[in-house]
């Protein structure tokens, strides 16, 4: 199991990104996020996702430093906050400095623009390219960018984003986006893969889970991985953290995958990137 949890996808710059990790959205800073990260790392996780907007970077960094693991063995992602994004290039650089100091773990493994702020993301990306060139971020990417955002960004970008973290789950596949990302060799990562728990009530998933003697959550996480989508389910409960990781001892059949794909309704649980309130 430990070896499976280090299974990775290679980003187009050669950096290896574990396909499975811990999301930390809405986990308070201090003891709650430190404990969640500690439980995950003890369970074999080697990938933790945070953001300036989550206000828990300090605790994530503390958990990483206190883990007893080599820094290079833990993949840490953080993201540019929207207020700084709106304020332009220099504000974006300062935002990274703040995140870098709060994490206090040396270079971050991946730094993302959190949301595509209209008219602003070209300057933000230029700042990320500067950060990447400095070596303080091993990889850079975006989050919640749709094909039209990326097409526009690529008209000025010198570095193609390495990752796009987007809402992705059985009710929202965004197949056109998936096709676009693969064409551009941008790795797709999913947030809210369990639809904030709503996947648990979908009968078709319950049947597939029963067949495999697995939980619905495990089936959906496995479905992400078999689609070559990096997946970062969030939990603060140790037993669920452990359970969510138990997805490398079974495989969904082609028919299972088709059944899950067929659940797509283009239905979001989070905001649409074009209608996000900045």
Q: Catalogue the active-site residues.
A: 54
CA torsion through residues 8, 20, 160, 92, sign:
negative
Enumerate residues 6+ apart whose C-beta is below 8 A from 137.
96, 107, 108, 109, 110, 111, 128, 131
Q: What is the Cα–Cα distance from 239 to 16, expressed in whole angstroms? A: 27
- β partners of residue 113: 80, 142
DSSP assignment, residue 28?
Answer: P
Q: What is the Cα–Cα distance from 195 to 234, expressed in whole angstroms? A: 11
Structure tokens at 187: 């790795």
């Amino acid at each position: 199991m430990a070896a499976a949890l280090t299974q990775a996808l290679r980003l187009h710059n050669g950096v290896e990104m574990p396909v499975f990790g811990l999301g930390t959205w809405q986990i308070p800073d201090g003891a709650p996020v430190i404990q969640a990260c500690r439980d995950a790392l003890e369970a074999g996780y080697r990938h933790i996702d945070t953001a300036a907007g989550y206000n828990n970077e300090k605790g994530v960094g503390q958990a990483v430093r206190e883990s007893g693991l080599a820094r290079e063995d833990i993949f840490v992602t953080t993201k540019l906050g929207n207020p700084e994004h709106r304020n332009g290039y220099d504000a974006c650089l300062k935002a990274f400095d703040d995140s870098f100091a709060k994490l206090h773990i040396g270079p971050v493994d991946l730094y993302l623009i959190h949301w595509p702020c209209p008219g602003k993301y070209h300057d933000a990306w230029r700042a990320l390219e500067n950060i990447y060139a400095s070596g303080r971020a091993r990889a850079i990417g975006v989050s919640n960018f749709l094909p039209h955002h990326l097409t526009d960004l690529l008209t000025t970008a010198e570095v193609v984003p390495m990752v796009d973290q987007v809402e992705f789950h059985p009710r929202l596949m965004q197949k056109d986006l998936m096709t676009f990302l693969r064409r551009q060799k941008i790795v797709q990562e999913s947030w809210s893969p369990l639809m904030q728990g709503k996947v648990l009530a979908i009968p078709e998933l319950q049947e597939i889970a029963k067949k495999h003697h697995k939980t619905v959550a495990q089936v959906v996480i496995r479905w992400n991985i078999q689609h070559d989508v990096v997946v970062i389910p969030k939990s603060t409960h140790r037993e669920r953290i452990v359970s969510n990781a138990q997805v490398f001892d079974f495989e969904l059949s082609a028919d299972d995958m088709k059944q899950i794909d067929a659940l797509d309704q283009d239905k979001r649980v989070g905001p649409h990137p074009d209608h996000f309130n900045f």
